[in-house]
């Protein structure tokens, strides 16, 4: 069943990106989608029930706006550090505990962290995430856990878990 959902998503994506509804294009798209599904289908979502729950989409849209705001702030922050003559950076690698468990939620959290204020996800070991931070603001682990992942974790939990 999950393979079928995966197949349909890929086919829609193909049709959008080629932007034509001719028969030959649909056949080629179906072949490509089938091949991709056979090769990578086992990495897709664990359950299909989650796809049809509307509250997840609602939280996704809320999350999208919060995320966009954070991304814009992140960019001004990095841009400020680039332009400033003294180059005010204080980089370091910090360890942050993770609360969420499922793989796809962790992937989304890691991607969100990479895109926001001066942080890049380096690795996940067990239940901890390692983050390179351009300006380490304090030595207290709780403070920087809140700064790095706290804002997103509660929304991602609602969307994916």
Partner 1 sequence: MISSIIITIGILFNLLGCLGLIRFPDVYNRLQSATKCVTLGTCSILLGVLIHYGFVEIGVKALLSIPLLFFSATVGAHALVKGSYKAGIKLGDKSVKDDYKEEVR
Q: Which residues bind partner 1 (CB under 8 A)?
A: 13, 16-17, 19, 71-72, 74-75, 78-79, 81-83, 87, 89-95, 110-111, 114-115, 118, 120-123, 125, 130, 132, 134, 136
| Rounded Cα–Cα distance for residues 57 and 160 (Å) | 10
Q: Which is nearer to partner 1, 5 or 89 (CB)?
A: 89
Query: Residues 117, 70: contact at Cβ < 8 Å?
Result: yes
Q: Smaller CB distance to partner 1: residue 1 or 136?
A: 136
Written as one string, the DSSP assignment of 112-123 is: HHHHSTTEEEEE
**Minimum distance from residue 161 beta carbon to partner 1 (Å):** 20
SS3 per-residue string spanning 19-88: CCCCHHHHHHHHHHHHHHHHHHHHHCCCCCHHHHCHHHHHHHHHHHHHHHHHHHHHHHHHHHHHHCCCCC
- Nearest approach, Cβ of residue 90 and partner 1 (Å): 5
Residue 1 or 39 having the CB closest to partner 1: 39
- CB 51 → partner 1: shortest distance, Å? 17
* Nearest residue (CB) to partner 1, 17 versus 49: 17
Least distance in angstroms from the C-beta of 132 to partner 1: 5
For residues 94 and 82, the answer to whether their CB atoms sit within 8 Å is no
């Amino acid at each position: 069943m999950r393979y079928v959902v995966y197949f349909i998503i890929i086919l829609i994506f193909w049709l959008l990106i080629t932007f034509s509804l001719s028969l030959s294009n649909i056949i080629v798209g179906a072949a490509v989608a089938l091949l991709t599904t056979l090769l990578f289908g086992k990495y897709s979502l664990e359950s299909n029930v989650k796809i049809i729950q509307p509250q997840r989409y609602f939280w996704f849209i809320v999350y999208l706006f919060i995320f966009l705001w954070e991304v814009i702030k992140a960019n001004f922050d990095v841009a400020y550090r680039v332009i400033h003559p003294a180059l005010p950076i204080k980089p370091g690698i910090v360890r942050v505990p993770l609360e969420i468990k499922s793989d796809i939620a962790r992937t989304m959290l890691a991607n969100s962290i990479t895109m926001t204020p001066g942080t890049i996800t380096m690795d996940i070991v067990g239940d901890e995430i390692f983050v390179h931070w351009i300006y380490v603001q304090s030595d207290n682990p709780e403070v920087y856990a809140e700064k790095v992942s706290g804002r997103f974790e509660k929304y991602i939990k609602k969307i994916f878990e």
